[in-house]
Each structure stands twice: as structure tokens, then as C-alpha cells.
A = this chain, B = another copy of it.
Amino acid sequence: MKVTVMKFGGTSVADPEKIQRAAERAVAERRRGYAVVVVVSAPGEMTDELISLAERITPAPDDRELDQLVTTGEQVGIALFAMACRARGAPAVSLTGPQAGIDAVGEPGRAQIRRIRTRAILKHLKEGRIVVVAGFQGLLPSGDAATLGRGGSDLTAVALASALKAGRCEIFSDVKGVYTADPRVVHDARKLSRISFEEMLELAGAGAQVMQARSMEVAERFGVEIHVRSAFRPTAGTLIVAREDLMLERAFVSSLALDKSEVRLTIVGVPDQPGVAASVLSALAEDDIPVDMIIQSAPSHAGRNDISFMTPKACAAKAKKALEGAAKRLRAERVDLREAVAKVSAVGTGFRHSPKIAATMFKTLAEHKINIHMISASDLRVSCIVDLAHGESALRALHKAYGLGKGKR
């Protein structure tokens, strides 16, 4: 039995007409002789609508009850999807996460998949049915259904593909694939036919919205090949494959990312003593605040440092509070929050051996008189923080400088 896992995101099943089109693709895949497992997200804005209903009840809804509420979104999606398959003459059955044997652990709202008991799915597949599984949810040991947190539907698809030894996991959405840069900003951005897991991980970290890092990690670990493609066009998208499959011989940049979702925080004038940076970061870790690009300035006047980092906008207030506590304890001068910043990143391979790639970035930004606030670099990524107002022009300039435009490679 050759299994294909097909995942349709919320925009791909936003209304009954789109569900019909998506179901048509699943039925066609079954006709080609595959055993088909479909993973469906909540249609359109349903999850947000449910959350806003909850917010009209209480500003701080209980996590367990919030999951009891939002898991209905995917359940609506799978039932409609299964109906659409059946209306096309293909036997189909919808399964919620718990019905599909997706066991989870952890807390409601951010559970993790522990294992997948594939018996129910395999039984239906063997009997010839398209199995339509609710993404983003699993069964906790308590007997409650819980959501898996951000990117959960992709994760469901990848985990199912791994458990069912599917040849491929197709991720359908409103994007046509992975691009050399956001095509809404860079007009000659080009769709990549292949990219490696590692680069995708870096892109996710650089703020590209294609797929969550968590799903990519699972796909890489279990060797699941992912095909990111459009739900609305028949053309091929981008294959995400292991790095060795790319047969690399030289360093290159595959894609750029622009991230406007973070703010910069700086704690100014901390004493230049061992353990100070650790103390600052512990204060943030205690409050579960994600940080990126931590930079400590060289000690200046009177043996004092500045420590800067980036954090998601949503965490800015919480991070500032935690940092102000740390500033008081450490007798630092003050805490600065800068909101109007953007992170522009180049992602690729072999950067360590080719300083030219980072150099091209700094040179290009300088030529365009774009000031760089912070820099971070790894073998796979170079990122610069610039003023928010310069983000898009920086992206366009770099796209040209790296020769990523259409017909260039």
C-alpha cells in the first residue's frame, strides 16, 4: 500500500467551494492508486472567530476549555471534506485527532504528539477509504482533546507521513512554494524547485511564514520528503529534501526573508562582570520569553556593557517588565525598547567557507545607505537588523545583489 499524506491549510478549505476543489485533488490521488490520508485545518477564519467568542466571555479563558472550543474548527473541516469526497463517489471517513489515534502529552493549547496508534487509520485505508484527519489536535492521557500549538496541522501531517511510511507529504496552501524572497515585496522573486530542511529551518527562524520549524525538524529526523504547493493550481511547488540530496558543491544563497514581527530590547549599562548576561537571560527564560540575536557590546566607559536581543512583538511588554526587574537587581542604567525594526536574512548553504556572502550583504546595505543595528551569522544564515522603514528596500536590493531574480540561475 503506497500512502500519500495531503495537508490542506485553512485558506485551502475556507469555504465549501474550496473544499470541493481540495477534495477533487484527494480523489484524483486515490484514483492514481494511492492510499490517501488527508489532514485538514479549521476552515478560513474559524479558529480566530472561536477565540474571539471566548474573549467575549472572558479575557483569560481556561486552556482546557479553549481547546474544547477550538478543536471544533478542524472537526467542521474534516466532516465537510469527507462529505465532499463521498459526493465524488470516493468512500471517505473523517477522524478527529483522538479518533485517529494521535496520542499527545503536555498541556492543553501546546500539547506534543507522543505517538500515533495507526490501527484505525490503516483499517480504513485497507477498506479503500480516504481518511480525513483533523490537524492540530491529539488525545491527552486525561481523555481530553488538546491542540498542538503553532504549526500543529503541518506537524500532524508530517507525523502521520512518518508513522504511515508515506512516500511523500504534500502541504497545500495559498502559497505556490518556497520563493527566493516574498513575491509581494520582490516582484521578480523566483520559486525554488528544491530546498533543504536545514535551509527551511533557517528560513522559519528568519521569519518566513512557509512552514513552522517544529514540523521541519520532525520531517528531517524521520526522512519525510515534503512538497509545499498551491491548493489552487496544479503546478509543482517546492520539494523540501535532505541536504545530501541536493548534491551541493559550492556556497550559495537560496532565499531571503524579511521579518517585521520582532522588536529590539536593550538593557543599557550593566556591569562588565561574569554571569551578568546569564542573569539577564535567566530572567527572560523564567517567563518563557523567546529571544534571538543576543548581542553584547564591548565594554565601554566605566566597565559597563549593553545587552541587546530581539523578541516577538507579542512578548515585548512581558520582556520589558522582566528586563526592568533584572536592571534593578544589576544596577543597570535603563531598558530601551525599539519597535520600528526589521530583520532581513539570507539563507543558504556553505556560508562559513564563503565570507563573500556576508560581505555582499553588508556592502549592499551600505551602498543603499541602510544602517545596520545588529548582525548575526551562521553557516546557513546571515541576518541584519535594520530600521523598519528600510526593510523592504533592503530585501529588494539584496535579491538583486545575490542574483536571485527570474532567469538568473
Contact = CB atoms under 8 A, between A and B. Distances in A.
B53 A76 contact: yes
Contacts of A53: 16, 76, 80
Given A20-B57, A99-B143, A75 B82 contact: no
Given A16-B56, A16-B57, A65-B94, A76 B72 contact: yes
Given A50-B76, A68-B94, A94-B68, A83 B58 contact: yes
Interface SS of chain A: helix
Contact of A84 (B58, B76, B83, B84): B58
Interface residues of A, number: 36
A65 B83 contact: yes
Contact of A80 (B16, B69, B80): B69
Interface in A36-84: 50, 53-54, 56-58, 61-62, 64-66, 68-69, 71-72, 75-76, 78-80, 82-84
A6 interface: no
Nearest to A84: B57
A69 B79 contact: yes
A87 interface: yes
A118 to B, nearest CB: 16
Contact of A82 (B62, B84, B143): B62
B79 A58 contact: no
A94 B58 CA distance: 16
A19 interface: yes
A86 interface: yes
B16 A87 contact: no
Given A53-B16, A80-B53, A87 B58 contact: yes
Contacts of A62: 82-83, 86
Interface in A16-46: 16-17, 19-20
Given A68-B75, A76-B72, A57 B19 contact: yes
A80 to B, nearest CB: 5
A39 to B, nearest CB: 16
Nearest to A91: B62
A335 to B, nearest CB: 34
Contacts of A56: 15-17
Given A50-B76, A80-B53, A143-B99, A86 B69 contact: no
Contacts of A84: 57-58
A79 B65 contact: yes
Given A65-B79, A72-B72, 5 more contacts: A54-B79, A57-B80, A65-B83, A65-B94, A66-B79
- Those 8 A-B pairs whose CB atoms lie nearest each other, nearest first: A16-B56, A69-B79, A58-B87, A72-B72, A68-B79, A57-B83, A61-B83, A65-B82
28 contacts: A16-B53, A16-B56, A16-B57, A50-B76, A53-B80, A57-B80, A57-B84, A57-B87, A58-B83, A58-B86, A58-B87, A61-B83, A62-B82, A62-B83, A64-B93, A65-B79, A66-B79, A68-B75, A68-B79, A68-B82, A68-B96, A69-B75, A69-B80, A69-B83, A72-B72, A72-B76, A99-B143, A99-B144
